Amino acid sequence: MICLFKAPYLMKLNQLLLFLFLGLLSACQQQDNNDGNMNHEAQVDKKIYRHSEDGKPTSLDPIKASTIYSNLMAVNIFDTLYAYKYLKRPYELKPNLATQMPTISDDGLTYTIEIKPNVYFTPHASFAGGLGREVKAKDFVYSIKRSFDPANGGTGAWLWQGKILGIDQWKADGANYDQVIEGLKALDDYTIQIKLTQPYPQLIYTLAMGFSAITPREVVESLGQEFGSKPIGSGPFILTSFNSETAYLIKNQDFRAEPLDIYFEGYDPAKHKSYGLESLQGKNAPFIDELEVHFINESSSRWHSFTKGNEIQYTTVPKDKQNAVILQHDPILVHPQISKNYHYTYGTEAGFVYHGFNMDDPTFGMRGDEEHDKNSHALRCAIRKAHNWSQKNRAFYFGLGQVFPGIIPPSVPEFDPNLSTESIELDIEGAKTLLAEHGWNNDTLPEFEYHVTGSVLQKQFYEQMRGFLNKIGYPSNLIKYKPYPSFGQFNKAIKNRQSPFFFLGWTLDYPDAENTLQLFYGPNQTPGSNNFNYSNPAFDQLFEQSSTMLPSPQRTALYRQMNQMVIDDCVVISGLARNKINLWHKNVITFPDREIVGGFHLRYVDIKQ
């Protein structure tokens, strides 16, 4: 007998089979993990892509997706309302779970967003019958609320704090999930309404971030803290196992069928033709059967795995291998053997690396005592004057990084190429004079702790920093190396205000300088995004004024004024935008982007067979 089922029944049948399969696959892959089997060579009939990252997620729970590693995982396991076009540069948003871009009221305060029907969460025992249920508008509402629940330890509330009408009061009232918030409603199963307290031009950007990914309430409540390692979403991939070294995912067979239009996504033959992307036209993503994400912190280990040929298939070029890869600097050309064996791209990151001071630290920060604050300001500025960016660029970035003053990086339109470079210039004598004028000497200088994630590379950064400080008379016995065994513990120390001085990188969440300026906004102090715990009423006033403005020369002027305030206060030693070379195997069809597009590009990876 041949039975014909309507589409929803077929989907439920697929989910039931998938639910049974996942249990078996998870057990098998757990055994693989225990055995150290990375290659899965027996599965020659499947398309398996092995990606690599130079760090690991602190959590797979979207509300904790504060690192590029957590965000990469979140946007592949879960759905967001919006995403970025795969190939379009400058970056451009597109609907993802949403049916179209939002309808916005004339006053800019009310956003109405329709979501796609017949999208299902993947199977889990907490759903009726173990089958994934349909994603509804109420799931988005629940997911945003989770970031404001103090019990969850979320790190993304800063995106909507003070902006969504009633959500801060909801938190103050006890975070009751059944309580309706005026500014965050599901009007029906497929319609979301967001009301703002004031215009917020960056709102749509936030709805493409992992922080806003959509989670099912019953699964979260069933798993509790385990949800961070056993997530269930409606994204293109399903997690089957996860440990500190590798995440294993399989294709979500029920992921919505949406033929890829590479021209809509920004395909440019002059830029993309050599990568084989034309073969993806009209196909439904994801294209691979299995995705492995390997978290390999040590660059030498990552390079060895990549060049073996049968392990990871993508990497960035580590600094100690750049001589073997780069033939010419300007313009960038790679050695013929590299271009023969691998595809590559080259470009400036959407972000920067920097050293930061904790302004809440009793020694280096501000205490409200005029004399102390004047002297600590001089100490911070002297340390900044000692920093040799040119040497750091040569030693660690092969001279390819772009050094710039302040906190507005070259990747955003508000960058000022004519800004004074005094804050990034080496000035040993100026630093010594500043210290002497403010009474800093061998007897009065405080202990200087350099906080960072522990690794060979980070130890080298520390040794260089110690050398810089020695040149202005800072005694070596006062300069301390404070490593942490993982980024999670390092990040926790920063959020607990235990790190007086730290070295970090920031990758922009969206292509707007507001995303770096908010790192210094007073109300965003830790555990929010303001790791500096910087508090400047004049800065905050300008930030609040500009936050309601659409892009304009007037807004750019305010942005640049705030940038100068941070420079003048010597809060940060900044900055350097890294230029990165991405390499991937010739049998992989992709255009990797670790920046704004981030993990969204993984659904479009294909493997030649």
Give residue 609's pLDDT: 86
CATH topology of domain 351-577: Dipeptide-binding Protein; domain 3 (3.10.105)
- DSSP letter for 292, please: E
Q: Which residue positions in the chain have pLDDT lower than 70?
A: 1-44
Give residue 36's pLDDT: 42
The answer to whether 546 and 555 are in contact (CB under 8 A) is yes
Spatial distance between the Cα atoms of 102 and 124, rounded to a whole number of angstroms: 31
Give residue 134's pLDDT: 98
3-class state of residue 367 by DSSP = coil
Which tokens go with 231? 């997530």
Give residue 249's pLDDT: 98
CA distances from 370 to 32, 311, 384, 565 (A): 61, 58, 21, 18
Give residue 17's pLDDT: 52
Q: What does 36-86 look like in DSSP terms, one character per residue? A: T----TT-TTS-EEEEEESS--S-SSGGG--SHHHHHHHHHHS--SEEE-S
Give residue 595's pLDDT: 82
The answer to whether 316 and 306 are in contact (CB under 8 A) is no
Give residue 258's pLDDT: 95
Whole-prediction pTM: 0.80
Task: State pLDDT tens for residues 99-146.
Answer: 999 999 999 999 999 999 999 999 999 999 999 999 999 999 999 999
Q: Is 132 left (phi over 0), alpha (psi -120 to 50) or beta?
A: beta
Give residue 484's pLDDT: 95
Spatial distance between the Cα atoms of 463 and 459, rounded to a whole number of angstroms: 6
Give residue 168's pLDDT: 97
Give residue 564's pLDDT: 98
Strands (E) located in 155-259: 184-188, 191-195, 237-242, 246-251
Spatial distance between the Cα atoms of 143 and 121, rounded to a whole number of angstroms: 14
CATH topology of domain 7-33+46-290+590-607: D-Maltodextrin-Binding Protein; domain 2 (3.40.190)
Residue ranges of the domains in the chain? 7-33+46-290+590-607, 351-577
Which residue do the tokens 């956003």 mark? 111
Which tokens go with 133? 């249920």
